Amino acid sequence: DIQMTQSPSSLSASVGDRVTITCRASQTIDIFVNWYQHKPGKAPNLLIYDASNLQSGVPSRFSGSGSGTDFTLTISSLQPEDFATYYCQQRYGFATFGQGTRLDIK
């Protein structure tokens, strides 16, 4: 199985901050990484697909980049509704998720 390692596992930030979450794959996976936002008691929400494509309806402050083994999710200016857990997911092989990054209010 392809392992996805996210960092950091948790992060505290303030409204307006720029935040970057990284994900490293255990082997090269081209651009086949998706990013999801998950809030407690809610369904996960697709933010970015295939490394850098913004899903319809997702605010433009979210962006993704990377290829091969290293990928990043960036939130350019944190908003109150962005505090959640974020997961990367690869689709090169059978789907696997990173362990998640919990983003809290500082």
Partner 1 sequence: EVQLLESGGGLVQPGGSLRLSCAASGFTFSKYAMTWVRQAPGKGLEWVSKISDSGGYTEYADSVKGRFTISRDNTKNTLHLQMDSLRAEDTALYYCAKHLTSTSGAGSPTQFDCWGQGTLVTVSS
Neighbours of 30 (CB within 10 A): 13
Regarding 98 and contact with partner 1 (CB under 8 A), the answer is yes
Stretches 16-24, 63-71, 73-81, 95-103: which one binds partner 1 (CB under 8 A)? 95-103
Regarding 49 and contact with partner 1 (CB under 8 A), the answer is yes
Regarding 24 and contact with partner 1 (CB under 8 A), the answer is no
- Closer residue to partner 1, CB minimum distance, 11 or 46: 46
> Rg for the chain (alpha carbons), in Å?
13
Regarding 95 and contact with partner 1 (CB under 8 A), the answer is yes
Regarding 16 and contact with partner 1 (CB under 8 A), the answer is no
